[in-house]
A and B are shown apart, each in its own frame.
Chain A
């Protein structure tokens, strides 16, 4: 790779040992993917929590602190695995909680902004069109590339840390024009009436794409989606398909029409997603039994508008004694929702509003064992996709069905598929 004078000095160790090692790793990754040079980034967003890092990752961060390393650009933190205020109530392992607190202290010494959110793009920082970033968490990446026209690859924890230390990232993949051309065409003919439907659409397209380097293009979407709908769609598309970008004709900024989305080329393949396809997707998540153990609204964290909707659907009713209701958001949204009365409404009903966390990284298998949960009802396709790997039975349904089941303790008959 070609280096600028500044990068060459970093590599030579003039900025310290940690940035030099970081740049060496970035060069190795960049050369693997044929990057010819670096691009400066405005900020990095890192996934760094004990669930994902383990002791080895902790030791790595600890060694950076011992070397006196400090981030060169703002680095924000993604949702983590512990809500320190509610850890005991949701029976999290005290050893994990202590370790997570120590990790947070180390990350702050490096200069990280501990915002603990996977919806940084809704609440912390909105990148401009064409801005280069180094973001981790797949949902943040697909939002940045698709909805704002900013540019980032998936940058896993250590890669985001490296970018934070050097202030640059290798120019390959979604930093380059060529990679941002649409490749697969999806004609959307299904009705999309709920966040869960948008997540299911992401799941369907993701399962058919299954490739980081392919860019699905959606044509025919009937109504202009709201931000939270795109959030659920993108998070699911990234989770099921490993995708980092999509275009939606007439909606996203690099797809005013099909010619622009495909950069003038013909799609490699064309698919149709109709109501039958959507129904078939839900059928891959049949209930194991009508009784519901836990209802989860998470993955991604909820916006204030989503929290408002949960509060409204609960409508003063109580959550059933045999069912738990968990909601996750970030600190800022929880504070706003508290001022607006939504947190009280959900808590008075018997639900929990957790902040700074996402449920699937909170060691859900251990939590389920502690509470005796066997199934999970959610409106998040991303959560449904991940939780199967933890041997919990996932059930994906619309938001109103989820709230109704939380109150009655059972999946309503109209939502039973088995």
Chain B
């Protein structure tokens, strides 16, 4: 069942558990780039590993570190399976494209109204849809 839609995204279809964040995302400020674990004190996902998950962030912050960081996560085996944004910026997408990680943005409705962390979903960037897998 389709729960989220957005413009055409990047990358192949991916199926995994979703992790929803109410807080914004910055690679340099929020994440331990060695482990892929959210490390910033007080972040909604503090202590959560992004490895293998489809992750949702409402918005992003910060600079160009994201450009290389996703590729590094892939090499360490701790990369997310896909990343979904409300609003994103170019460096996040440049980094995800380099790393070959699927990505979408400008999804509607608010994922918190239709999904919970732990739900199993399939992201289909080419069609611009996110479906719940029951």
Contact = CB atoms under 8 A, between A and B. Distances in A.
A157 B64 contact: yes
A56 B73 CA distance: 9
Interface residues of A, number: 39
A57 interface: yes
B68 A56 contact: yes
B68 A242 contact: no
B111 interface: no
A158 B105 CA distance: 21
B87 A47 contact: no
B89 A47 contact: no
Interface in A20-56: 25, 28-29, 31-34, 47, 52-56
B112 interface: no
Given A159-B91, A210-B24, A138 B63 contact: yes
A234 to B, nearest CB: 13
Nearest to A137: B64
A28 B10 contact: yes
B29 A29 contact: no
Contacts of B105: 32
Nearest to A51: B65
A158 B24 CA distance: 23
The secondary structure that dominates the A interface is: helix
A389 interface: yes
B62 A242 contact: yes
B75 A154 contact: no
Interface stretch (B46-54, B94-102, B115-123): B94-102
A356 interface: no
Contact of A32 (B10, B66, B67, B71): B10
A155 B93 contact: no
Interface in B42-89: 59-69, 71-72, 74-76, 87-89
B70 to A, nearest CB: 9
A153 interface: yes
B90 A33 contact: yes
B64 A242 contact: no
A54 B89 contact: no
Given A154-B89, A242-B60, A242-B89, A29 B71 contact: no
A389 B27 CA distance: 10
Contact of B69 (A29, A33, A54): A54
B97 A156 contact: no
Nearest to A391: B41
Interface in A232-266: 238-240, 242
A230 B61 CA distance: 21
Interface string A144-163: 00000000011111110000
B93 A33 contact: yes
A211 interface: yes
Q: Which 10 A-B pairs have the closest CB atoms?
A: A156-B67, A212-B89, A54-B72, A56-B75, A159-B94, A156-B91, A57-B68, A156-B64, A389-B29, A56-B72
Interface of A: 25, 28-29, 31-34, 47, 52-57, 59-60, 136-138, 153-159, 173, 210-213, 238-240, 242, 385-386, 388-389
15 contacts: A25-B97, A32-B103, A32-B105, A47-B64, A56-B76, A57-B72, A59-B75, A137-B63, A155-B94, A156-B91, A158-B67, A158-B95, A211-B87, A386-B29, A388-B29
Given A33-B90, A57-B71, 5 more contacts: A54-B33, A56-B75, A210-B61, A212-B90, A385-B29
Interface of B: 7-10, 24, 28-30, 33, 40, 59-69, 71-72, 74-76, 87-91, 93-95, 97-98, 103, 105
